[in-house]
Homo-oligomer: A and B are copies of this chain.
Amino acid sequence: MLQHSPPLDLMFQALADPARRAMVERLCRGPASVSELAKPHSMSLSAVVQHLQVLQASGLVRSQKAGRVRTCRIEPKALRTAEQWIAERRTSWERRLDRLGQFLAAHQDEPDHGSKS
């Protein structure tokens, strides 16, 4: 409740489903139509479209219709946003470890510093 980042919610939620991740993987190899994306999956076209709606709401995928074919492509910018969130936390943790290491190294040869007596 400290802060809100709707896009991040939607992005991770979108990536949490294996079918949607498979679609992202497919789209990373190039744009595709809805039925092309549906082909490898053993679910109804409707279900695929619903997954695509989740992906679009998350900003990970964009699509446009030409004639009767809707062509989908990934939005690498969004992919990078998610990547960066994780990277920032990870490096935050690594910085902490560094500080801890430095502290331990600095106090290695002064076991006790008259803290209380």
Q: What does the 1/0 interface line of A80-104 toward B look like (CB < 8 Å)?
A: 1011011101101110100000000
B2 touches A93 (CB 8 A): no
List A residues 6-34 near B (Cβ within 8 Å): 8-9, 12-13, 15-19, 21-22, 24-25, 28-30
A29 touches B87 (CB 8 A): no
One complex includes copies of this chain to the number of 2
A12 touches B9 (CB 8 A): no
List A residues 41-100 near B (Cβ within 8 Å): 41-42, 74, 76, 79-80, 82-83, 85-87, 89-90, 92-94, 96
A86 touches B82 (CB 8 A): yes
Residues on B with C-beta less than 8 A from A79 are: 86, 89-90, 93
